[in-house]
């Protein structure tokens, strides 16, 4: 028996490389990043280059302050640890959520690396629908990036039995669409920006002169893309060196064989 579908919940999801809260005006402002995110009204936020922790007594934990300002729960995976501070990737959401898995992505270097490229997988409940969200920040080196992209769609992450459709893979991939790393993922999942209202997909980097599309939102087949594109305004042009990428999605609820059978039996009664 074929699966049928009905319209499920809509969600707004944002990926944003916040550049350690450092703007192009050289000012560190977690508050400004929080204002950018709040203006987008997202349900789920994936952040890269997040700075957390306190170096000196009396300082705030910047990531926690941003999450508190937004009224969202914070899930964090460190990639760098320096002098009591941590940098890494994070997922924020106002919905019920839990970390399924976090960990490092493969490296080709035999020497200890300054930044441990990682992924963070969070399961989010939205209107009775479970959505798997994987946030990643990939290497600047092309060969290593390809290895990491292959790992993300492999059995440990998107290909994992528990990472079933609907699932979203997003983040700063440092991979433009002509790269092999991008194509590895795009051959498996849908690039949300290919279904936007702007015509051609728009670059996300650099905010001073946007020419590269490095940040992406990829979705599995049961997710319909309503719209997707970078958020460009005077505040986002200065808040970070990347534009935030916002996608509005609709999750189609699939009615499997058992559910369809029960519905059919109900109609016969």
- What are the chain's domains? 11-251 (3.60.10.10)
Q: Helix, strand or coil for residue 265? A: helix
Q: Helix, strand or coil for residue 169? A: strand
32 half-sphere exposure, CB direction, 13 A CA radius: 20
Question: CB–CB of 202/229 below 8 Å?
Answer: yes
Arithmetic mean of pLDDT, 112-119:
77
Arithmetic mean of pLDDT, 48-66:
76
Whether residue 88 is predicted with pLDDT greater than 60 in this model: the reply is: yes
**pLDDT score of 111:** 62
**pLDDT score of 55:** 47
Backbone angles phi, psi at 76, to 5 degrees: -130, 140
Lowest mean pLDDT among 27-41, 97-111, 130-144: 97-111
Whether the CA torsion 195, 41, 223, 184 is positive or negative: it is: positive
**pLDDT score of 127:** 92
Arithmetic mean of pLDDT, 160-168:
97
Q: Which has the higher per-residue pLDDT, 198 or 138?
A: 138
Bridging pattern class, strands 85-93 and 44-52: antiparallel
Within 8 A by CB and 6+ apart from 172, the residues are 15, 17, 48, 49, 136, 137, 138, 214, 215, 242
Whether residue 193 is predicted with pLDDT greater than 70 in this model: the reply is: yes
CA atoms of 269 and 162, how far apart (whole Å): 36
Q: Residue 245, class by beta-carbon neighbours within 10 Å (0-12 exposed, 13-18 middle, 19+ buried)?
A: buried
């Amino acid at each position: 028996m074929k699966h049928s579908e009905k319209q499920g919940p809509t969600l707004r999801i944002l990926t944003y490389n916040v550049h350690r809260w450092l703007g192009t005006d050289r000012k560190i402002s977690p508050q400004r990043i929080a204002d950018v995110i709040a203006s987008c009204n997202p349900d789920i936020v994936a952040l890269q280059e997040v700075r957390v922790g306190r170096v000196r007594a009396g300082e705030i934990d910047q990531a926690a302050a941003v999450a508190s300002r937004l009224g969202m729960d914070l899930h964090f995976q460190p990639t760098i640890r320096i002098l009591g501070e941590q940098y890494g990737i994070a997922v924020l959401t106002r919905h019920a959520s839990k970390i399924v898995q976090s960990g490092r992505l493969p490296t080709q270097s035999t020497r200890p690396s300054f930044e441990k490229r990682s992924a963070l997988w969070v399961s989010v409940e939205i209107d009775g629908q479970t959505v798997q969200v994987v946030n990643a920040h990939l290497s600047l080196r092309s060969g290593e990036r390809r290895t990491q992209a292959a790992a993300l769609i492999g059995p440990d992450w998107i290909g994992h039995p528990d990472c079933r459709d609907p699932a979203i893979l997003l983040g700063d991939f440092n991979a433009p669409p002509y790269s092999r790393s991008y194509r590895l993922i795009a051959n498996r999942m849908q690039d949300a920006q290919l279904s936007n209202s702007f015509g051609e997909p728009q670059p996300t980097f650099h905010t001073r002169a946007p020419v590269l599309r490095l940040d992406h939102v990829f979705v599995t087949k049961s997710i319909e893309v309503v719209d997707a594109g970078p958020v460009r305004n005077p505040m986002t042009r200065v808040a970070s060196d990347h534009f935030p990428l916002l996608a509005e999605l609709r999750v189609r609820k699939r009615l499997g064989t058992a559910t369809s059978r029960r519905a059919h039996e109900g109609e016969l009664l």
